[in-house]
Structure 1
Amino acid sequence: MAEFKFDVVDSFGTLSQAENGWSKQLTIVSWNDREPKYDIRSWSPERKRMGRGVTFSKDELSSLKKLLNNMPV
């Protein structure tokens, strides 16, 4: 399995937390020394392991924000 690197550059907060300590967070992450991107995924308590997630460029996150602001709740 190919090894990859990640660096959590900034963290904006936790969306939810599971009983096992893992938490779904909105962060900015640099994957394999690439340009950092906005990221939503689950992280282990010590942030050494992660679950599947989704990454967004700044423009994509801005579009998502507009969509969410217009959604009926």
Structure 2
Amino acid sequence: MWGWFPWRRTAVRKRIVVNLADKAFAGVLWAKRGPLLILKDAVLMQHGAADTPMDGEVLIERVKVEFIQVAGGG
């Protein structure tokens, strides 16, 4: 499933939104380490709740990712 995709290289160090089944995280994709995505400056976004800033780095297992949005512009 996670074969070669052009966005994987170009999205590093860009602001993205990682959508999971029940929540999403917005932040800077800092690195991809094996089965993990590492976000910095991340915010937890949940339907019906205020965004929650996250301390430190957020590690997300790739198998739990439904889709990723790369921020447009500049």
Whether these two folds match at TM > 0.5 is: no
Under TM normalisation by the shorter chain, which class is it?
Answer: 0.3 to 0.5
What TM-score do the two structures reach when normalised by structure 1?
Answer: 0.37
Give the number of the structure whose alpha-carbon radius of gyration is greater.
1
